[in-house]
Amino acid sequence: MAPIRILIVDDSVVIRRLLSDTLSGDPALEVVATASDGRIALAKISLLKPDLITLDVEMPVMDGLETLAALRKLYPKLPVIMFSTLTERGAAATLDALSLGASDYATKPSHTGSPAVAIERIRAELIPKIKALCGGKVPLKFPPLSGFRPAVKVRPRSSPRIEIVAIGSSTGGPNALTALIPQFPADFPVPIVIVQHMPPLFTRLLADRLNTLARLEVQEGKEGQRVQRGQVWIAPGDYHMTVVHKGSEFVLATNRDPQENSCRPAVDVLFRSVAQTYGANVLAVVLTGMGADGTRGSADIRDAGGEVIAQDEASSVVWGMPGNVVASNLADHIYPLGGIAPEVVRRVSMQRALASVARP
């Protein structure tokens, strides 16, 4: 199989060399060229026809956002991974890039770190994203999860009253959430809790942006906050988020326990907690994302009697997370992104109404 052809665009000679050497060390990848700014990159794309571009956010002459806007007009389907600094400015620019059509992002290694650490970060973070986004060249596989036990579908009662909606997403998730969350009405009767794989700063800025678009209140999750209707909570970067009972209330808890599925926050952690806390009264949604985070948690939700909706392959940027849920026979329903919010609203309203009628 031909290697994935990559064009690296960055104004830093050091970063260009680091990326070139590290990516070229993988036999499935080939760095076909580098460029120091957006104008040079646009000229090289038509000649080299790369399969994917890594694009720096901050560059002279033509920065990453300007380059991306021009690139999307000419090459709407070409995968682009933004390479940004882990700063508030870098995070904000990255979210702008995702809204302009970037496929994903990776954060630059710290200037103060060792070269060996930087190389390992690129191998661990960037290379899997490149392979996931170029799925046509690297076949999508769903290997069995070690120690994974398929769920035993339990239904304590028919159509249990939904008390919370839990959502997990990763690659492609910020745009999916931007399309999804504003569709929920202001009187949506249950809280929504979300894990989106993102580092610190990014999750807060994502919550702030969604809050300006949504009719519900969207916030980054905070320790001890009461979980109630009309609110959407996004797990903070580098913290797992759970929902726990505290007296008669449900509240958020955060921790820095070890990563799960190489992630913190992890979807499995959130899903497991709502299954334990709410039992059958959970509706989970697994959106676009690479990897298998959310599969074990979906099994926990199904075991408790809750339901799981998965995004379909056609509307997913990467059909890893939802694809693994479907392949594990854990999805009760599969919908395109545009159909998920209406279906969630319908199910929450219908099942709460049925439960109210059935209540003696």
Position 159 scores a pLDDT of: 67
CA angle at residue 338 from 354 to 282, to 5 degrees?
Answer: 35
Main-chain phi, psi angles of 283, to 5 degrees: -120, 120
Position 166 scores a pLDDT of: 98
Distance CA 327, CA 272 (A): 19
Tens-place pLDDT, residues 108-142: 876 656 788 888 888 988 999 999 999 764 445 55
Catalytic sites, residue numbers: 170, 197, 293
Q: Encoding tokens for residue 233? A: 């909570």
Tell me the three-class secondary structure of the chain, residue by residue: CCCEEEEEECCCHHHHHHHHHHHHCCCCEEEEEEECCHHHHHHHHHHHCCCEEEEECCCCCCCHHHHHHHHHHHCCCCCEEEEECCCHHHHHHHHHHHHCCCCEEEECCCCCCCHHHHHHHHHHHHHHHHHHHCCCCCCCCCCCCCCCCCCCCCCCCCCCCCCEEEEEECCCHHHHHHHHHHHCCCCCCCCEEEEECCCCCHHHHHHHHHHHHCCCEEEECCCCCECCCCEEEECCCCCEEEEEEECCEEEEEEECCCCECCECCCHHHHHHHHHHHHCCCEEEEECCECCCCCHHHHHHHHHCCCEEEEECCCCCCCECHHHHHHHCCCCCEEECHHHHHHHHHHHHHHHHHHHHHHCC
Position 195 scores a pLDDT of: 98
When the candidates are 2.60.40.10, 3.40.50.970, 3.30.70.920, 3.40.50.180, the CATH number that belongs to 164-358 is 3.40.50.180
CB–CB of 152/348 below 8 Å? no
When the candidates are 3.40.50.2300, 1.10.10.10, 3.40.1550.10, 3.40.50.920, the CATH number that belongs to 4-133 is 3.40.50.2300
- Return the domain boundaries, the chain: 4-133, 164-358
Position 194 scores a pLDDT of: 98
Cβ-proximal residues to 93 (8 Å cutoff; 6+ apart), any chain: 57, 58, 64, 65, 82, 84
Q: Among residues 249, 288, 252, which one has the least CA distance to residue 270?
A: 252
Q: Encoding tokens for residue 15? A: 């970063």
Distance CA 83, CA 190 (A): 37
**Regions of the chain short of the pLDDT cut 70:** 110-113, 136-159, 354-360
